[in-house]
């Protein structure tokens, strides 16, 4: 294991605005792939008992964003119940409840994914980096309005210090060895059916 490795003991999962309506706006990646990978991230957090923070934007105020995808409640019922319902604040880290929830994980390494990459992910990730967090952005569990917007957002976050990764990379980093206890918990998550 390298010295900067993310492990179940030092990392948390942060899922931002994977809302039914918001996801329908995206065109940079097949939304079914984004949904599947988002659920895999939730399954990783559950399997390894990692802290997870969920948030939504304006889910109770306007119909077009909608609620978080319902499978998140099934996989992470406690995190879903404690989700931070932001009233329209673009940078989730500017929302006191969200910022406190991220700090309350006690982790300085964060796996982050969300919708949209260019708005709802970019600004909180930039602030997380400024606040001293190490961040891995799951590009395959995030999406944007357009491919160019998605690509530029990922480039901006990478340039600021975030690692841009995929769900298989996250699973593999956390497993270390498929025959280890964590590896056995995660091996079924990496399978692409």
Residues 57/17, Cβ–Cβ less than 8 Å:
yes
Residues 125/155, Cβ–Cβ less than 8 Å:
no
Residues 167/40, Cβ–Cβ less than 8 Å:
yes
Residues 92/86, Cβ–Cβ less than 8 Å:
yes
Q: List the Cα angle 103/107/112 in 5-degree steps.
A: 85
Residues 98/53, Cβ–Cβ less than 8 Å:
yes
Catalytic residue among 52, 54, 101, 120: 120
Residues 16/117, Cβ–Cβ less than 8 Å:
no
Active site residue 120: yes
Task: Count CB-CB contacts under 10 A for residue 152.
Answer: 15
Give the catalytic positions in this structure: 120
């Amino acid at each position: 294991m390298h010295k900067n490795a993310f492990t179940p003991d030092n990392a948390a999962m942060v899922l931002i605005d994977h809302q039914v309506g918001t996801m329908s706006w995206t065109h940079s990646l097949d939304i079914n792939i984004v949904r599947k990978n988002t659920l895999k991230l939730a399954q990783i957090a559950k399997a390894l008992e990692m802290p997870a923070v969920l948030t939504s934007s304006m889910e109770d105020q306007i119909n077009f964003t909608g609620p978080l995808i319902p499978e998140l409640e099934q996989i992470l019922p406690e995190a879903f119940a404690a989700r931070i319902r932001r009233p329209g604040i673009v940078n989730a880290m500017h929302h006191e409840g969200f910022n406190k929830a991220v700090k309350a994980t006690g982790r300085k390494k964060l796996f982050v994914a969300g919708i949209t990459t260019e708005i709802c992910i970019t600004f909180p990730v930039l602030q997380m980096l400024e606040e001293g967090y190490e961040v891995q952005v799951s590009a395959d569990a995030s999406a944007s309005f357009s491919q160019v917007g998605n690509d530029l957002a990922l480039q901006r976050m990478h340039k600021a210090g975030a690692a841009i990764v995929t769900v298989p990379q996250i699973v593999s980093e956390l497993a270390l060895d498929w025959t280890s206890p964590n590896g056995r918990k995660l091996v079924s998550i990496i399978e692409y059916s």
